[in-house]
A and B are shown apart, each in its own frame.
Chain A
């Protein structure tokens, strides 16, 4: 157990915080200064006086929440200084614009992984190896039962799933920012010939990605008044929030699927209520987390976002890595 004083980054009110710079990382409540690792809503909160984020994250955020926020835009690798602490952003491979954040103070390096993955993703910069003394890593999928298939295999499975049911309308639920665009990018590299539609929330993000120069397959925006026959045999991307409730009544003769890393476990798949699950994730799997821990050359590792007990014990027992826990 460590005391807060000697740590550059600590855990405060459920958030990562750098006291020396008085700066928060992805805070869940309004603060003075907030570093934003990426544009997903569970990493962003309204009302902060000033935000810091990469160019892409800033553009995506403004598209989602409006121009009415003060963001300092940064390039990957660009350093800035607050109270003598050097801060810089590096690609984390999670979604477009996503980043790790490194702090350097008195020659001590701290790295916050942000949400990350090592897998190939045509819609964002690949994870960049950054050396550090202290690593604070996410561990959403920190168990060895999580091992991702190659993305193109999943894309082919999705293509087959739709093509093999030509009489059905195939509804694929996925997060509207990041996952949807990654899937579209991958599906365009398969021989899928059918029509693809996107829900409005996804369509908006697709356009945003395109404007930022990302190669996304053109899709049609799904309209509620679409004739049911026209949708037969096509693939429709929808946000998960619409999977329960009356929205599905707009369609007839459907099959449903959810694209998420959790779908690799049968019990979770069955419980989710979707017909099918595609285990594709924008987070690192077990091997991915271990690789990042090793490549970062960190002597000390903290975990957050996930159940880290097994992962910590494994690293201590097998890899002799010092795993630390935040004082909460």
Chain B
């Protein structure tokens, strides 16, 4: 496929907001183009080709050098645009079109397999000349895609899920099957596309299909009326929900978002394949602190989630643990219609068997969840409040006599989350965002009182609505005291309710405390800065919890 054709597809997809319309565009694109083109489109749109050949900084320096453009001016533009590839594209406009030169229509194959990889073999001068030459021979509306491929920042708002859906609709085959086919090392070729749209499903593909997930409802007070003995209690882990399938020797890890994540967690796939039985387990994947036998925070997990094929070092640095809490299928038999209390017995028995009978040790990567046994509802509440100690979010309460249905059905599972910790803090700094938030001040720092001074205690950038972000941005621009690069110090005036998950002593912070996952939960326009909390309040909170 040519770069020109792909740029057109990109443009079309980029000017549609509705998911359904995007699917329609992709479907009709696949129908009207050659398999090889389709294969390239899928490769790039799913981000499989996202490799950084040169950095955004390098690109900006290069432009500055070639066109004698002040670096500071490019940087100022970047603050508005939020993407190096796009800034350079915009600045290149009207600079490169020379009428004498014949514009090239390079194929993606040549660009990605030859032209760009060869850049790394050149010395700096040759490389710069080559890039300049490509800029000057490409049609202007192909610059963005070229620069994005070069800097490995290709994101279109077309997720892998959207591609999966489009192909699924195109050939009328379940999304899970397409997901499975898209897994792994997808190389753009006629064969790989033909394989993707093959209407015959093979056994391995069928074997990988997950069950629909059962989801928990929010806790309702009326449950207190029931006997505590009717329920099973578990800790609510904050990891990735995973259905772990092993059928005829093959292991598949499915997330709730119908994503197959085998590649991100190869060590789990490997270990589980040693178990002799076939099964389907429902559970939570976590980064595990083996010394203390508790989970690490979700933020640690985030460092691993997006790494495809993690190195051995990463695997050791972020050790995973799969905590199973339900058994849905055993040796080909679907047991979802069996009562939970009996499924639990099966789960425990099989786990014991696997632990003792499997050749390789599996207990360093797989366990079943512990149950909690409160004697009454009052004690259940105490357990819930203690959940922070083991880095869980609260309790999951399950009806012992329930069957495993799908979706968020009432009366089966409940989540009973511990209330987040909160403090009211004053906004003191703001920093510009990047990407979609470029040009807006969206990264905020908050402070608490100490001896009539405001001391910074947390930074947060999530929790406000788009309308609030715009409103706050306007306010920030009008109430700046000083600018330091992209950061502005602000008139202390705005109070926000900040929620967080954990609070502890920290010598690294000026405030002496560190909080986990701080986020904005309310813009307290009703409060003035004297109503904000003090560091004293934060210490009290810490005492109360430990």
Contacts and interface: CB of A to CB of B under 8 A. Distances in A.
Contact of B17 (A143, A147, A275): A275
B76 A310 contact: yes
A76 to B, nearest CB: 31
B15 A275 contact: yes
A267 B439 contact: yes
Contacts of B90: 144-147, 264-265
A193 interface: no
Given A313-B72, A314-B73, A317-B70, A145 B81 contact: yes
A309 B436 CA distance: 23
Contacts of A268: 439
B438 A267 contact: yes
A265 B93 contact: no
Interface string A207-238: 00000000000000000000000000000000
Given A144-B91, A264-B90, A310-B73, A270 B436 contact: yes
Nearest to B95: A147
Interface string A310-328: 1001100110000000000
A267 B83 contact: yes
B306 interface: no
A309 B76 contact: yes
B13 to A, nearest CB: 11
A5 interface: no
A145 B89 CA distance: 9
Interface string A292-312: 000000000000000001100
B249 interface: no
A147 B94 contact: yes
A2 interface: no
B16 interface: yes
B86 interface: yes
B437 interface: yes
B381 to A, nearest CB: 43
Contacts of A309: 76
B434 to A, nearest CB: 9
A72 interface: no
B524 interface: no
Given A267-B81, A271-B466, A144 B436 contact: no
A273 interface: yes
Contacts of A310: 72-73, 76-77
B435 interface: yes
A255 B438 CA distance: 25
A269 to B, nearest CB: 8
Contact of B86 (A255, A266, A271, A277): A266
Nearest to B434: A267
A276 B82 CA distance: 19
B60 interface: no
A174 B365 CA distance: 59
Contacts of B82: 267
A106 to B, nearest CB: 37
Interface in B323-366: none
Given A266-B83, A313-B72, A314-B70, A271 B436 contact: yes
Contact of A145 (B16, B70, B77): B77
Contacts of A265: 80-81, 86, 90, 438-439
B51 to A, nearest CB: 22
B436 A145 contact: no
Interface of A: 143-147, 255, 257, 264-268, 270-271, 273-277, 309-310, 313-314, 317-318
Q: Which 10 A-B pairs have the closest CB atoms?
A: A276-B15, A145-B90, A267-B438, A310-B76, A145-B77, A147-B93, A267-B82, A275-B17, A267-B436, A143-B77
9 contacts: A143-B80, A145-B77, A145-B87, A257-B15, A266-B81, A267-B436, A270-B157, A271-B466, A317-B70
